[in-house]
Amino acid sequence: METRHTPQNIILKVEDLKKYFPIRRGFFQNIRGWIKAVDGVSFEIERGKTLGLVGESGCGKTTVAWLILKLLKMDEGRIIFRDTEISELSEKEMKPYRQEMQMVFQDPYGSLNPRMTVGQSIEEGLSILGIKSRKKRKEHLKKLLEMVGMSTNSSDRYPHEFSGGQRQRIGIARALSVEPSLVICDEPISALDVSIQAQIINLLKDLQDQLELSYLFISHDLNVIGYLCTTISVMYKGLIVESASAEALFSHPYHPYTISLLSAIPDPESSVKKEVKLPARDFSDTLIPPDGCNYQGRCPMDEPRCGQEDLIFTEVEKDHFVRCWKVPKNNV
């Protein structure tokens, strides 16, 4: 397989990633159709930068994360980490890359083993890293706990003794124990209390500066994404519909879905109440999207042409891509 040259500062490149899940019905569990959870997703993450993946629940953001980590087998596509294509690697060949890519999960209650002390949980990663000496491991553990702002005597305690925010810190320490260069954060703060969220966001930011980490930050919260991310990709039903730098996306979004997302942000900074309109339309979801644009039916600018045109991801401005034929294409 040809290996295309990737620039040095690109740490992860995903090309045309696809994952379909079968819908099985009936006594013989025959396949009756396919859910296109991820239907051709491509993006790049630069070293030391943060890519935000936004979208509503069920749009396929978490599936993308699982595919990158090869926790799920992809149907099609390429994943290139640094210069190596990892999509075809065997479990054994994958091992060094697993260390490089780590994940911080959404639920800090479910993602720590309740029967292991915090120290054991984190040390598990250290022994995988090949640190055999117990003394060295303990030193390392101490350093990790300090790094995430936990007291060093917490290593002998069990997860249930900690609050949600503390558990999320432990989850982060665990991810960092194998010294990764890319961390995938899947909704890392949405299960936390409002006053704790800022603590974790600050921690993630500090760690990025200290360790030159790259993040793939998955969230549905545009306020957090807008604060934290360098570039943003908006996902809708398995496809990225718009992708741009954070500034460009917030100041002039093009795709009607992005526009509706941005206008739906509850913004505490504008204390002006929005005017009351008639009750918004009830958009019933269809499982299998029609031909053409997958936003049909919910789009306020719907036209017959949307059902025929095969949409391409068009660059409307420099590094600003949109998947909608209505967007002017002449200002590149």
Partner 1 sequence: MKDNRLISVQDLKVYFRSNATTARAVDGVTFEVDREETVCLVGESGCGKTVTALSILGLVPVPPGDIAGGRILFKGQGLLDLDDNNMQSIRGNHIAMVFQEPLTSLNPVFTIGDQISEAISIHKNIDTGTQRERCVQLLRDVGIAAPEQRLNDYPHQLSGGQRQRVMIAMALACDPELIIADEPTTALDVTVQDQILRLFKYIQKTRAMSILYITHDLGVVTHIADRVYVMYSGVIAEQGFTSQIFNHAKHPYTRGLLASLPSRSKRGKRLYSIPGSVPDPAHKPEGCPFHPRCPHAIPSCWSEYPQMCDYGEGHLARCPVLFEKTKKTIDDK
* List of residues contacting partner 1 (CB under 8 A): 56-57, 163, 165-166, 193-199, 201-202, 205, 220-224, 226-228, 246, 250, 260-261, 263-271, 273-274, 276-285
What is the smallest separation between the CB atom of 312 and partner 1, expressed in angstroms?
25
User: For residues 27 and 283, which CB has a smaller minimum distance to partner 1 in the complex?
Assistant: 283
User: For residues 1 and 278, which CB has a smaller minimum distance to partner 1 in the complex?
Assistant: 278
What is the smallest separation between the CB atom of 285 and partner 1, expressed in angstroms?
5
User: For residues 138 and 220, which CB has a smaller minimum distance to partner 1 in the complex?
Assistant: 220
37, 74 contact by CB (below 8 A)? no
Structure tokens at 296: 């049909």
Cα separation of 141 and 57, whole Å?
36
Q: Is the dihedral of CA 161, 201, 263, 289 positive or negative?
A: negative
What is the smallest separation between the CB atom of 119 and partner 1, expressed in angstroms?
21
Angstrom CA distances, 27 to 7, 22, 23, 31, 32, stand at 52, 15, 13, 11, 12
User: For residues 2 and 285, which CB has a smaller minimum distance to partner 1 in the complex?
Assistant: 285
75, 19 contact by CB (below 8 A)? yes
125, 177 contact by CB (below 8 A)? yes
User: For residues 125 and 253, which CB has a smaller minimum distance to partner 1 in the complex?
Assistant: 253
What is the smallest separation between the CB atom of 36 and partner 1, expressed in angstroms?
18
Cα separation of 140 and 235, whole Å?
38
What is the smallest separation between the CB atom of 253 and partner 1, expressed in angstroms?
12
User: For residues 4 and 252, which CB has a smaller minimum distance to partner 1 in the complex?
Assistant: 252
Helix (H) / strand (E) containing 243: strand 239-245
Structure tokens at 99: 């260390």
| Cβ-defined contacts of 313-317 (< 8 Å, 24+) | 313/42, 313/240, 313/243, 316/254, 317/244, 317/248
Q: What is the DSSP string of 159-214?
A: GGGS-HHHHHHHHHHHHHTT--SEEEEESTTTTS-HHHHHHHHHHHHHHHHHHT-E
User: For residues 140 and 255, which CB has a smaller minimum distance to partner 1 in the complex?
Assistant: 255
Q: Is the dihedral of CA 78, 81, 83, 84 positive or negative?
A: negative
User: For residues 58 and 290, which CB has a smaller minimum distance to partner 1 in the complex?
Assistant: 58
What is the smallest separation between the CB atom of 29 and partner 1, expressed in angstroms?
20
What is the smallest separation between the CB atom of 332 and partner 1, expressed in angstroms?
25
User: For residues 57 and 210, which CB has a smaller minimum distance to partner 1 in the complex?
Assistant: 57
Q: Is the dihedral of CA 204, 228, 46, 262 positive or negative?
A: positive
What is the smallest separation between the CB atom of 246 and partner 1, expressed in angstroms?
7
What is the smallest separation between the CB atom of 202 and partner 1, expressed in angstroms?
5
Cα separation of 46 and 61, whole Å?
19
